[in-house]
Amino acid sequence: MTSPYGSWPSPLSAEALASAGSRIDGARYADGAIWWSESVPTERGRMRVLRQDADGSVTEALPAPWGARSRVHEYGGGAWTVAEDGVLLFVDGDSQRVHRLDPGATAPVPLTTAGPQHGGLRLQQGRLFAVREDLSASPHRRSIVEIPLDGSAADDDTAVTVVQGGDGFFAHPALSPDGTRLALVAWDERRMPWDAASAVAVDLATGTRTPIPARAPLQPEWLSDEELLYADDMTGRWNLHRARIRAQPSPPLPAPPATTEPFALADADTGGGLWVLGQRWFRVLADGRILAVRTNGSDALVLLGTDGAVLREFDVPFLSDLSLEDADGTAVLITGQGARVTPGLWELDVDSGAARAIRGGDPVDAAWVPGARALTFDGPRGPVHAFDHAPANPDAEPEPGTLPPYVVSVHGGPTAHTAGAQTGWITYLTSRGIGVLEVNYGGSTGYGRAYRQRLDGQWGVVDVDDVLAAARGLADAGIADPARIAIRGGSAGGWTVLSALVRGGVFAAGIDRYGVADARMLAEDTHDFERHYLDGLIGPLPEAEPIYLERSPLAQAHRIDVPVLILQGADDPVVPPAQSEAIRDALAARGVPHEYVLFEGEGHGFRQASTIIAAAEAELRFLGEVFGFEPTM
C-alpha cells in the first residue's frame, strides 16, 4: 500500500506504548528466586517488587499500595534489596523511610525515622548500608549510614551509624570481606561526580580514611581484604583499576594513600554519568573473573580474566543502559535495552554465553524494527555521533519521489548518551513513516572524557552546533526531507531544542518536554544535586550572568518562528512549570503557533499511563499538523 510518510497504518497505539512502558529498577538473586522491581504506569508509576520462583511462577513481593522508590539526589536509585532468606528491604516512595518486609508478613515495618531520605541500599554480610539525605538540616546534609535491621532506629535516629557525612554527596558503599572497612565514593557539592570525585576506604573501628587515587571514580568493589577494583577515567576513559590498601597506622596518624595500577585498559568506558544510585558497570564473579560493560557509542559486554585480559565478548541482544545487577555463580542478571528486543531483564550464563529473558526482552520483528545505523557527521568542533532509525513498515510504501519527515532527538543530562536501542516511542514514529535521529552531541558520555568536555562552558553553543550539523547532514545525504525536520528533547535536551529553534534555519518545529528555558532561573530554583552544574556548563554566577542572559532561550524567544509543542509536569522539582510557562507566554505574545500541556501529578519525566498516552498522541498530532500528513492514532 502506498501512502504518504507519516500516515502509514501502525499497529502500535499510544495505549500499547504506555502498557509496555514499565521501567525495571534493579534485580537480585535470593531465597531460590529472581527478584526485580518494575514500574506500573497504570498506578501512577508505582514501583512494585516481583519474584520469580524456580517453577517460573511470578508473584508480587511488594504489593500495592507500597512502592519502592528513592528520591536521594532527586534521581534516586537503589531503592530496595533483599536478604538471602527473602526479607525485603526497601525505601517507601512516599515517606522515604527504609522498611523491612518479612516473608509471610502482612505489612512492612519501618527501620528508620521519618524525615531523612534514603537510597543506594546495599545489604552486605547481613549489614545494611545506604545513602542518606537530610533536607531539613541547614545546610542540607548527606551521608553513608549503616541501618540496624532490628528496627531499633525506627524511633531513635541515634541508632543509625554514620560512616561518613557532610554537605557533599556520596555513593557506592562497599564492605570489605572481613567487615572492617567500607569503600565509598564522594564528591564536593560544587562539582559533578563525572568531573571530579574521590574514593576512600574507611576503617569502621577507627574512622581512619585511606584515600584511593582517582579522578572520577565509580563503583569500588573488594577483591580481597586489601584489594579494590574500581572504574576511573584518569586515562581519558572509564577503565578498571586496582588499588591496594596498605597497613593502616594508629590514629591520629593519617593513612597513606592506596597504591593503584591499571587493570583492564580499553578505548571504551566501563562507567557513565552517576545520575542514579545502584547502577553496576561490572561484576566480580565468585571465581575471580569479571564481567564488564564497555561503552563506545553502544554497550558491549566482555568477560575478563583475573589478570584483566579479555576472555570473550558476548553476542547478546542488549546494547544500551546495561547494569549488571547481581551474580550467582556463572549466572548474571542484567537490565538494559537492545536493538531488536524490548527493554528488559535477562539472565546470562557467562560460560555458555546464553542469555534468556526474565522480564521484557521480547524480540521485535525486523521488518518493523530493522535496527539503528550509527552515523557520524562533521561538526564545527569535530565529529558528531548519532544513531539513525529509518521509517520501517512492511505494510506500507512511500509515495514515489518523496523523503520522510524526521525528528532529531536530543537526550537530557546533558551528561548522558543514547546508544541506538529500540524503544517504544521511536517505533511509534518510525512505523508511521517518521524517521528518528538520536544525536550524541558534544558533552555526551560514551565517547571518553575529551568528547564530554567539549561542552565545558559551552552549553547552549556546542550542543546546538552539533544537532544543527547532524540535521543538515541528514538532509544533505538525502535521508530526510529538509523542509520537514523537527527537534525533540526533554530537560537539558529541551534547552537544546529551544536554543536550536532560536538559531533558526534548520528545524521546522520543536517538541519541548519540561525543558530549561532560563538558565538563571534553573540555577536559582533547581535541587541540590545540580545546584552548581551550570558553573561548569556555562560559568559561575554572578560573574557569568551576561552569558546566562545571552544563551537562555527565554531571552531570545523572539527569534523562534516555528511551531512549538510544550509538555510539562506540574510537580517537577528540577525544571518547575514556570520555565515552560515563560516560553509559552513569550510565544503567545508574538503569535507563534504553540501548544502547552500541563500534566498534573507528574514530576521530572512522565510515569503515569494516562500521561504517556496523552503525550504520545499530542506529539504525533502536532507533527501531522506541522508537516501536513494525517497520522494514524
Condensed to tens digits (0 to 9), the pLDDT of residues 169-212 reads: 999 999 999 999 999 999 999 999 999 999 999 999 999 899 99
Q: How many CB atoms lie within 10 A of CB 257?
A: 14
Q: Which stretch of 55-64, 121-130, 288-297, 523-532 has the lowest confidence by average pLDDT? A: 523-532
Instruction: Pick the closest to residue 371 from 397, 343, 339 (CA basis).
Output: 339
pLDDT, tens digit, 9 for 90 and up, residues 291-317: 999 999 999 999 999 999 999 999 998
- pLDDT, position 616: 95
Same fold across 22-167 and 373-627: no
pTM: 0.94
The CATH code of domain 373-627 reads: 3.40.50.1820
Q: Which residues contact 220 (CB under 8 A, 6 or more apart)?
A: 172, 174, 183, 184, 185, 199, 201, 212, 228, 229, 230, 243
Flag whether pLDDT at 607 surpasses 90: no
CA distances from 609 to 360, 364, 602 (A): 17, 22, 11
- pLDDT, position 250: 65
Instruction: Pick the closest to residue 561 from 502, 627, 619, 625 (CA basis).
Output: 502
Domain ranges in the chain? 22-167, 373-627
Confidence of residue 278 (pLDDT cuts 50, 70, 90): very high
Q: Which stretch of 67-76, 522-531, 619-628 has the lowest confidence by average pLDDT? A: 522-531
Query: What is the mean predicted confidence (pLDDT) over 18-39?
Result: 91
- pLDDT, position 481: 98
pLDDT, tens digit, 9 for 90 and up, residues 544-581: 999 999 999 999 999 999 999 999 999 998 788 998 99
Q: What is the mean pLDDT of the chain?
A: 94
Q: What's the rounded Cα separation, in Å, for the pair 599 and 215? A: 40
- pLDDT, position 538: 97
Q: Which CATH architecture has domain 22-167?
A: 6 Propeller (2.120)
> β-strands 33-40, 46-52: how paired?
antiparallel
> β-strands 218-222, 209-212: how paired?
unpaired
